[in-house]
Chains A and B, each alone.
Chain A
């Protein structure tokens, strides 16, 4: 059951290494969109090619976030 006062933030691949962490939790209060979440967790601007997801579905920096959400930031994908 998700804690309803927090947003879980996850990072992958080169972005995970650069930030030095896989995952963290932030207070949801005051965060209205994905870009707000990034400002809370990082000092650098969101790198231009970064992809974002909310609850494991693609989203954009302007997409709204709510308490209980899982927000992910990751570089361009290279599977296959």
Chain B
């Protein structure tokens, strides 16, 4: 189980390959399902063009909240491992913002746990988006499902 909250950009596909190389030793060959969610910065929001974004977070609480929901997912479903990476700071258009990956024996628990993690993260993890639009910067007031 790993959590990373970082300012640096990341390539989710390389992160997944690296994680498997370094962490899957205990469960190599035992997972039948990998569910992955990647959230990226798109160029529109609430009818406006978005040219960039800055993500604020609550250092410490963010990590502990992500740890908490990762542990919770492992009590609800039979999982082999989970990985969550989330950025903060300035984000460029098209950049990955979040990666959630879940490994399990079967797809039902992998899909369900991945969905649970990204939904809990979006509704409760202390991050705040500020978008840059032609009219200036604005705080995003609520997340869309």
Residues of A in contact with B (beta carbons under 8 Å apart):
10, 12-14, 51, 53, 56-58, 72, 74-80
Contact = CB atoms under 8 A, between A and B. Distances in A.
Nearest to B144: A78
B139 A77 contact: no
A72 B61 contact: yes
Contacts of B86: 79-80
Nearest to B86: A79
Query: Which size bracket describes the interface of B in this complex?
Result: 20 to 34
A75 B39 CA distance: 22
Interface string B117-142: 01001111111111000000001111
Q: What are the 7 tightest A-B residue pairs by CB atom distance, in nearest-first order?
A: A79-B127, A13-B128, A56-B61, A80-B122, A78-B140, A14-B139, A78-B129
Contact of B124 (A12, A56, A58, A75): A58
B110 interface: no
A55 B123 CA distance: 19
B56 A13 contact: yes
> Which of A12, A13, A57 has most B Cβ within 10 Å?
A13
